[in-house]
Amino acid sequence: MGHHRDESDETGGLKRAKISPEVTRRGFLGGTATAGATALAGIAGSAQEALAQEMDAAGGETVDVSLVINGVSYERSLDARTTILDLLREELDLTGTKVGCNHGQCGACTVLMNGTRINSCLTLAAMADGARITTIEGLAEGNGDLHPMQAAFLEHDGFQCGYCTPGQIVSAIGCVKEGHADSEAEIREYMSGNLCRCGAYKGITEAIIEARDATRSSDVGGAS
Ligand code: FES
Ligand code: FES
């Protein structure tokens, strides 16, 4: 499996970008969350099936993968079925990226790949060979200063238990960089792939509005 293929049609993160406005509006703005979650589950399910097929095809092969993660180059020989999520957490001990559903439905595992949001649980590391990955660990400055989006989540109580938060913050930066944060409604629509069981959506939306301008002018995670 080469890395020159455009995997965007098969990965959960990009599936999120393709969710139709009708689906997300009905589910998250005007209707019931249950209807939206069901629709999202269906979309994510097809991505999961595609991943399962890729994994079956890969068998037990080993592949050499080179990635730049948070500015650090890594080269690893991996089982071809290793997802980026597994690589981050199990191989590299970068456990800030969380496992939620592991099926492309919750967004807890969101990272930026070449500046674009993906669900790392649905993206094989082999597909990402040569890519630049940004995780929650890569957002703060070297001196410990938080990224403006991290600071805004703190300021606006954009979390309760915090489990979804790394994915929310990374996704929020992606959302702003994609140009989909012009209004509260747009933010809610384009953040709808990141679920929060604690229902901290109000604070999350406020934080994104607060950090929007600073994030637009920040190059963390956004340059491609
Ligand atoms: Fe990847 Fe839920 S979407 S863990
Ligand atoms: Fe608990 Fe979002 S803060 S799941």
Do 101 and 170 contact (CB within 8 A), yes or no? no
CA neighbor of 96 nearest in space, from 131, 138, 153, 151: 138
> Model confidence over 166-197: pLDDT tens digits?
999 999 999 999 999 999 999 999 999 999 99
pLDDT number for residue 42: 60
Closest ligand to C-alpha of residue 200 is: 2
pLDDT value at position 118?
98
State the Cα–Cα distance between residues 188 and 162, nearest whole angstrom: 19
**pLDDT less than 70: residues of the chain:** 1-44, 58-59, 220-224
DSSP at 129: T
- The atom number, within ligand 1, closest to the CA of 85 reads 1
pLDDT at 125: 97
| Ligand 1 nearest-atom number relative to CA 99 | 4
Which pLDDT does position 47 carry in this prediction? 76
| pLDDT at site 58 | 66
What burial class does residue 102 get, using C-beta atoms within 10 Å of its C-beta: 0-12 exposed, 13-18 middle, 19+ buried? middle
DSSP character string of 78-116: EETT-BHHHIIIIIS--TTSPPSSSSSSS-TTEEEETTE
Residue 43 confidence (pLDDT): 61
pLDDT at 224: 38
Atom of ligand 1 nearest to the CA of 107: 3
- 122 CA distance to ligand 1 centroid (A)? 8
The pLDDT assigned to 159 comes to: 97
Measured in angstroms, how far is the CA atom of residue 155 from the centroid of ligand 1? 26
Count other C-beta atoms under 10 Å from residue 179's C-beta: 10
How high is the pLDDT of residue 59? 66
What is the 3-state composition of the chain as percent helix, strand, coil, each rounded to the nearest 5? 50, 15, 40
The predicted pLDDT at position 222 comes to 41
User: Pocket residues for ligand 2 (CB within 6 Å)?
Assistant: 159-165, 196-198, 200
Centroid of ligand 1 to alpha carbon of 177 (angstroms): 21
